Amino acid sequence: MLCPAKAKNHQDPRNIEGQIWDVMADKKRKIIAVNELGYRIGSSHHNSSISDEVVDQIRDLHEEAGIGYRRLAQRFGLTRSAVQKICQYERRAQTPDRWKTVNEKDKS
């Protein structure tokens, strides 16, 4: 039998296992794009606020339809300089070197 002083610090192994399963249930697997150094790029980067699809739409509309930076900025709710840098491939210009699977916590 455990002494009362140690009983407080003793954890039931069944309870610990249940806690581990609870933590694992909160995570989901996600595939992200990384560059040659292994850093996240594109919409999987933590500072990204523009999806890859929107970036592709902006570039397509500018290159194929000839729509100007100001009109694209108004249409997508971005600044003109952000649209300009996207269209000139100064921003969001990296291509994935490989794909990586990560576990992320469920945000629900």
For the stretch 27-45, pLDDT in tens is 688 888 999 999 999 888 8
pLDDT score at 96: 87
The full set of domain ranges for the chain reads 13-45+96-108, 51-91
Listed residue (92, 32, 81, 98) closest to 57, CA to CA: 92
Q: 14 or 100: whose pLDDT is higher?
A: 100
CA distances from 83 to 11, 72, 77, 90 (A): 56, 7, 10, 10
Q: How confident is the model at residue 63 (pLDDT cuts 50, 70, 90)?
A: very high
Q: How confident is the model at residue 10 (pLDDT cuts 50, 70, 90)?
A: low
pLDDT score at 39: 92
Residue 93 has pLDDT above 90, yes or no: no
